[in-house]
Amino acid sequence: MTPKLIVYYSRRGENYVDGRIQNLAVGSTEIAAGLVRMLTQADLFRIEPVQEYSPNYCTCIDQARQDLYHNVRLELKGFPDRFGEYETVYLGYPNHWNTLPVAVISFVEQLDFSGKTIFPFCIHEGDGMGRSEADLRRLCPGARILPGLPIRSADVKYSMDVLEDWLNNTKLENQEELI
């Protein structure tokens, strides 16, 4: 069995879900990452910035927008041990301003994804994957970026079947690439 890793960035606390701000004990992307883990038995790694954004949702999204606009890179608490040994990476993130969150950009820029297969999954409130797949291709040259799965944050708790279909169908459609 090839070594597999789930890497995700998720926000607990105030989040915009199903048209309103809700306080989440576990972030939507973290829930999806847990479901992917149940389906794949892959190792799990959470991307954590040293300095978190504001706990206030409105302040947080403004900070995230400013960081993205000003091309800021966040200092992260750490990186996965033995990253080079993983061949498959399931990358989960929320849609921030139609692309990857700055924390995820900071993460992927620090590691070599050459030769790895990336399965991106994106939690959103209406914008789907945005341009995140194109941005991943630019940020991870030499990696194989498979078609991503957008999941509405309100639906994430009920997405096990959708995730399973996506994983199985993506593998089947790209079987020659994965051998």
Structural domain contains residue 161: no
d(CA 163, CA 22): 24
- 52-77 tens-digit pLDDT: 999 999 999 999 999 999 999 999 99
pLDDT value, residue 1: 56
Place of tokens 């945005």: 130
Range(s) of the domain holding residue 49: 1-95+117-135+147-155
Q: What are φ and ψ of residue 164, in 5° steps?
A: -60, -45
The pLDDT of 130-144, averaged and rounded, is 97
- 72-100 tens-digit pLDDT: 999 999 999 999 999 999 999 999 999 99
Helices (H), 25-153: 28-40, 57-69, 102-110, 132-139
Structural domain contains residue 175: no
Structural domain contains residue 140: no
CATH, residue 73 = 3.40.50.360
What's the structural domain count of the chain? 1
Structural domain contains residue 15: yes
Tell me whether strands 20-24 and 13-17 are parallel, antiparallel or unpaired.
antiparallel
**3-class secondary-structure state, position 8:** strand
Structural domain contains residue 8: yes
Structural domain contains residue 46: yes
- 2-36 tens-digit pLDDT: 699 999 999 999 999 999 999 999 999 999 999 99
Structural domain contains residue 164: no
Structural domain contains residue 28: yes
Helices (H), the chain: 28-40, 57-69, 102-110, 132-139, 160-173, 175-178
For residue 170, name the pLDDT band (cuts at 50, 70, 90): confident
